[in-house]
A and B are shown apart, each in its own frame.
Chain A
Amino acid sequence: MAKLPKQDELLQISYKPPKTPWMDLPVDFKPGTYCHGAKGKDLQAVGFPNARDWSPGEEDWKLPEEWKDTVLAGMADRLGKYRSFRLFMDVCVRCGACADKCHFYMGSGDPKNMPVLRAELMRSVYRRYFTKSGQLFGRLAGARDLTVDVLKEWWYYFYQCTECRRCSVFCPYGIDQAEITIMGRELLNLLGLNTEWISGPVANCYMKGNHVGLEPHTMVSNIEYLVDDIETLTGIHITPSFNRKGAEILFVVPSGDYYADPGMYTCMGYLMLFEELGLDYTWSTYAGEGGNFGFFTSNEMAKRLNAKIYAEAKRLGVKWILGGECGHMWRVLNQYMDTWNGPADFLEEPVSPITGTKFTNATSTKMVHIAEFTADLIHHNKIKLDPSRNDNLRVTFHDSCNPARGMGILEEPRYIIKNVCNNFFEMPEDTIREKTLCCGSGAGLNPGENMEVRLRGGFPRANAVKYVQEKHGVNMLANICAVDRVALPTLMDYWVPGVGVCGVHELVGNALVMKGEKKRETDMRGEPLPERSAEA
């Protein structure tokens, strides 16, 4: 990874747009501000077109001869298939309400990071080829030809949008740049213009069942390793099951949880909770990934990856599916899965075996979010919690973009945190819930080579964390997203040193009083537990 840029350099942000009209501003492929190009073998693995190694920084992108026709035909096709796309190409009044709502714009001042201009990158081409006024008046009507430079600009800025939907909250017509970015990336993928960091995990997930490419035995041993840690911590030995037929529940998490620090602690939290409940559940190595990097390439690829979850639930004969903490995973599960791969009529309407609660909001997908599941347990007093074990933590909660703006799971995680921690502080109102600020690394933008963009995009979020750090001494940023858990630690170390990052179920695992456990000396991370006056 390149040397980190200095903070004061990054903070030379000006929101004053340049003199040059944006159509005349060339894209600068400056190292640190874009991702590596996709590897041919990864594109090939899933049958994507124009599979070859390529590099965005180089002049020649090795485009197929008829690239322009492919893009225009692809646009025409999608304009006919997605009302959102056609409508959002037409109805923007350029009021500018969305302009300063994007974290990438806030952190860079680059005018093409204003959502409205990000959209105009595409609209200008739409006008030129799909509207009369654009054909007649050209640039005066805001239209321009599709050239290789325009294509490169698309690539640069559509892979500089985390599909976070913050802009769409503020737009009076709900124009969602994420929808346009999704279409833009679909078109780019018709030419093999993907990134290494997205296409690699996609290929892995397709062939091996998870983004990191763990083979089944490795996934098992990773989880067993967590089981050992739990035994050291609590004295309780857990024996999770894999691909077990006849289990009541299939449990699917983002693979980051059983693979990467600090997601692993969240995963330990799940394991401990289920053990304590005696839950009849199974992991799957085939459907070992809840996250879906396919969603960052094309709707079709996302569907192909997502299909495994229902297929596996059917094969194993479970009753319903429980999903771990992850952001874009839940956008997909909530808004796409049933449409793509349903109906899940071979499953039963989900009921908590512990409380008897019927999850009436999930009667069709049959898939429940673990925060809903756990909040329900706590509400019914089914688990014993000792929040003082988290007293060394002063916690704030980062709403991940997708669960906030593509689902609305806002209270459940807060309710859980308030029951497992004594010190909880909200960040300023304009930076949480539906107005939450993105981590800056979502939608596949989190490779190291893209660090400058990530640091800039994450600056607004970090800035709000810093506020509660200074005001309340906050030292832990909780969230329900695997990308957050991977990306935010770097961001915190850079902008707000001293703040850690954790999943909500890590906090649950720490506070959970398990039957027959030994006296805990440390938390899951091996940190000594805070002094407690009255030991239970």
Chain B
Amino acid sequence: MKIWSSLLAVVALVLIAWLGTGVAGLYTVFGVGIPYLAFLIFALGFIYRILKWGRSPVPFCIPTTCGQEKSLPWIKHNKIENPSGTAGVVGRMILEILFFRSLFRNLKTEKRGDKLGFGSAKWLWLGGLAFHWSMLIILLRHLRFFLDPVPSLVRGLDGLDSFLQIGLPILYITDIIIVAALLYLLARRLFVPQVRYISLASDYFPLFLLLGIVTSGILMRYFLRVDVVSVKELALGLVTLRPTVPTDIGSIFFIHVFLVSSLFAYFPWSKLMHAGGIFLSPTRNMANNSRRVRHINPWNYPVDVHSYAEYEAEFKEKMKKAGVPVETE
């Protein structure tokens, strides 16, 4: 149910784009209107979500410490895993965001007879990293359509990504990696029993959607060739806010663009917001220095306390008998 509904949703999106352009010819809608709208939803939605998280304060200093605290000078402090100041936190966050540090710790708990064992489990880390990095590179490579002249950085990236120099058009390595990585992530969701058990439709849908995007992109580049000049014309028109609508690009292009638009519009309302959330995670982005620097809770409020005076009033005689000094006679 969860799986089929997600897959169907993506198939429906493909059909909509195909019918909309190939049959109904609504090029302006699918080439200009929807991309603009999707981008707007994405940008505003993203900001909205970040602001919403940001509006909830961080009342306590709760880093998860994963190494030795800074204490006595002769004890080696783990500056990254248990940061005591901003520099350490920045280091920790860089490792988390660029290299998925925490996921790298992953272990597999196994029951071996009447014992437990902990095996290494780095595949998720590798697959996750492969997917995210390929996607980042692919996104950056796409800038060649939107910028004129193409910045040398983007051209350099292009060159690196295609260094194998095979096929025509030349094969991008990230295209292969991202497909493999997405299939791995999907396979693990389908076939690792625990992961399947916890998965929701909203876990399958982004994977199918991304696969749809990647597949349509690959088809367009390697098999159902489209006119790149027209594509660039459209893309440049979009960024310069002077959109033109070429009609001579195949439907496959509009399918690709519609799926990407769907991803953009879907992004802020979904788990994909982990991309923004990770920056705000208080167990990772705080320094463990709460004994040295007082952390302020903006909503700290006075509470009822059982005061010493009340305590002494109740126990004075017993205290005196036991030789414990008291305040009042």
Q: Are B62 and A362 within 8 A (Cβ)?
A: no
Question: How far, in whole Å, are A339 and B59 apart by their CA atoms in the complex?
Answer: 8
Question: Taking A243-B324, A412-B75 as contacts, is the C-beta distance between A17 and B193 under 8 angstroms?
Answer: yes
Q: Which of A284-322 contact B (CB under 8 A)?
A: 285-286, 299-300, 303-304, 307-308, 311-312, 315
The count of residues in chain A whose C-beta lies closer than 8 Å to any C-beta of chain B is: 122
**Bound Cα distance A87, B322 (Å):** 52
Q: Count residues of chain B with CB under 8 A from any CB of chain A.
A: 101
Q: Does B197 contact A (CB under 8 A)?
A: yes
In the complex, what's the smallest C-beta–C-beta distance from A428 to chain B, in angstroms? 7
Contacts of A165 in B (CB 8 A): 64
Residues on the A chain within 8 Å of B271, using CB: 90-94
**Residue numbers in B under 8 Å from A467 (CB-CB):** 115
User: Does residue B321 face the partner (Cβ distance < 8 Å to A)?
Assistant: yes
The reply to whether A434 and B71 form a contact with Cβ atoms under 8 Å apart is no
A465 to chain B, nearest CB (A): 12
Measured in the bound complex, the distance between the Cα atoms of B109 and A101 in whole Å is 7
Residues of A within 8 A of B74 (CB): 379
A105, closest chain B residue (CB):
B109
Stretch at the interface among A77-85, A447-455, A508-516: A77-85
- Which residues of A have CB within 8 Å of B289? 361
Task: Select B315's contact among A15, A100, A216, A407, beta carbons within 8 Å.
Answer: A216
Indicate if the CB atoms of B52 and A372 lie closer than 8 Å: no
Give residues of chain B (98-148) contacting chain A, Cβ–Cβ below 8 Å. 100, 102-103, 105-109, 111, 114-116, 118, 124, 128
Decide yes or no: A308 and B64 within 8 Å by CB, A13-B111, A92-B271 being known contacts.
no
B304 at the interface (CB under 8 A from A): yes
Count chain B CB atoms within 10 A of each CB in A21, A95, A179, A311 and give the residue with the most. A95
**Which of A93, A101, A131, A343 has the most chain B CB atoms closer than 10 A to its own CB?**
A93
Q: Could you say which residues of chain B place their CB within 8 Å of the CB of A52?
A: none
Quick one: which of B295-329 are within 8 Å of A by CB? 295-297, 299-300, 303-308, 311-312, 314-315, 318-319, 321-326
A308:B194 contact, CB within 8 angstroms = no
Contacts of A303 in B (CB 8 A): 303
Residue A500 is within 8 A (CB to CB) of chain B in the complex: no
C-alpha spacing A8/B113, complex, angstroms: 11
A466 / chain B contacts, CB cutoff of 8 Å? 115
User: In the complex, which residues 339-393 of chain A have their Cβ closer than 8 Å to any Cβ of chain B?
Assistant: 339-340, 342-343, 357, 359-365, 367, 372, 375-376, 379
Interface locus among B223-231, B238-246, B249-257, B272-280: B272-280
Asked whether A397 is an interface residue with its Cβ less than 8 Å from the other chain, the reply is no
Closest CB in chain A relative to B255 CB, distance in Å: 24
A522 CA to B299 CA in the complex, in Å? Answer: 54
Chain A proximity of B132: nearest CB distance (Å): 10
Quick one: which of B5, B116, B283, B291 contacts A361, CB cutoff 8 A?
A: B291
Q: Is there contact, CB below 8 Å, between A410 and B116?
A: no
Q: With A87-B280, A93-B274, A217-B321 as given contacts, are A408 and B65 in contact (CB-CB < 8 Å)?
A: yes
Question: For window 438-493 of chain A, which residues contact chain B by CB distance below 8 Å?
Answer: 459-460, 463-464, 466-467
Chain B neighbourhood of A83, CB < 8 A: 53-54, 56-58, 280, 282
Interface string of A232-253 (1 = CB under 8 A from B): 0000000000111100000000
Scoring B61, B62, B107, B271 by chain A CB atoms within 10 A of each residue's CB, the highest score goes to B62
CA distance A82 to B56 in the complex (A): 6
Shortest Cβ distance from B295 into A: residue: A339
A406 contacts chain B at the CB level, 8 A cutoff: yes
Query: Which of B61, B102, B198, B296 lies at the interface centre, i.e. has the most chain A CB atoms within 10 A of its CB?
Result: B198
Q: Which residues of A contact B56 (CB under 8 A)?
A: 79-83, 85-87
B76 contacts A106, C-beta separation under 8 Å: no
Q: Which residue of B lies closest to A224 (CB)?
A: B322
Specify which of B193, B273, B278, B297 is in contact with A339 (CB 8 Å cutoff): B297
A116 and B271 CA atoms in complex are apart in Å by 14
The listed residue with most A CB atoms (<10 A of its CB), out of B84, B289, B296, B322, is: B322
Q: Is the CB of A339 within 8 A of B319?
A: no
- Find out whether the CB atom of A408 lies under 8 angstroms from the CB atom of B52: no
Q: Mark B38-78, 1 if CB is under 8 A from A, else 0.
A: 00000000000100111111111110111111111011101
How far apart are the CA atoms of A408 and B84 in the complex, in Å? Answer: 11
> Which residues of chain B have C-beta atoms less than 8 A from A376's C-beta?
72
Complex interface: chain A residues within 8 A of B52 (CB)? 86
Report whether A94 and B199 are in contact in the complex, using a CB–CB cutoff of 8 Å: yes
Contacts of B198 in A (CB 8 A): 22, 94, 96, 99, 111, 114, 116-117, 120
Report chain A residues within 8 Å CB of B72: 357, 372, 375-376, 379, 412
B-binding segment of A270-278, A330-338, A417-425: A330-338
B96 touches A405 (CB 8 A): no
A169 within 8 A of B: yes
Whether the Cβ atoms of B325 and A173 lie closer than 8 Å is: no
Cα A132 to Cα B323 with chains together (Å): 64
Say whether B193 contacts A16, CB under 8 Å: yes
Contact flags (1/0) for B196-208 with A, using CB distance below 8 Å?
Answer: 1111111100000
When chains A and B are docked, how far (Å) is the Cα of A408 from the Cα of B76?
Answer: 12
Shortest Cβ distance from A482 into chain B, in angstroms? 20
- A-chain residues with CB within 8 Å of residue B196 when the two chains form the complex: 17
- A338 CB contacts on chain B under 8 angstroms: 290-291, 294-295
Does the CB pair B304–A47 fall under 8 Å?
A: yes
Q: Give Cα A407 to B270, complex, Å.
A: 33
Closest residue to B81 on the A side, CB-wise? A434
Assembled-state Cα–Cα distance A411/B118 (Å):
23
Q: Which of A132, A242, A357 contacts B269 (CB 8 A)?
A: A132
With A94-B199, A209-B311, A307-B305 as known contacts, state yes or no: A339 contacts B300, CB within 8 Å: yes
The smallest C-beta distance from A234 to any residue of chain B, in angstroms, reads 23
> A363 to chain B: which residues have CB within 8 Å?
291-292
Minimum CB–CB distance from B84 to chain A (whole Å) comes to 8
Task: Give bound CA distance, A360 to B293, whole Å.
Answer: 11
- Are A361 and B294 also in contact (CB < 8 A) when A85-B56, A285-B324, A339-B61 are? no
23 A-B Cβ contacts within 8 A? A15-B193, A87-B280, A87-B281, A100-B194, A106-B116, A169-B105, A170-B107, A172-B103, A206-B306, A221-B322, A243-B324, A286-B311, A338-B295, A339-B297, A340-B300, A364-B290, A372-B72, A406-B64, A408-B288, A428-B118, A434-B64, A435-B105, A463-B116
**Given A111-B198, A114-B194, A142-B201, 5 other A-B contacts at CB below 8 A?**
A95-B128, A96-B124, A173-B281, A311-B305, A339-B297
The 5 closest A-B pairs by CB, nearest first: A408-B69, A91-B277, A217-B322, A174-B283, A408-B65
Q: Name A residues whose Cβ lies closer than 8 Å to a Cβ of B.
A: 7-8, 11, 13, 15-17, 21-22, 47, 79-87, 90-97, 99-101, 106, 111, 114, 116-117, 120, 131-133, 137, 140-142, 165, 168-176, 179, 206-209, 215-217, 220-221, 242-245, 285-286, 299-300, 303-304, 307-308, 311-312, 315, 333-336, 338-340, 342-343, 357, 359-365, 367, 372, 375-376, 379, 404-412, 415, 428, 430-431, 433-435, 459-460, 463-464, 466-467
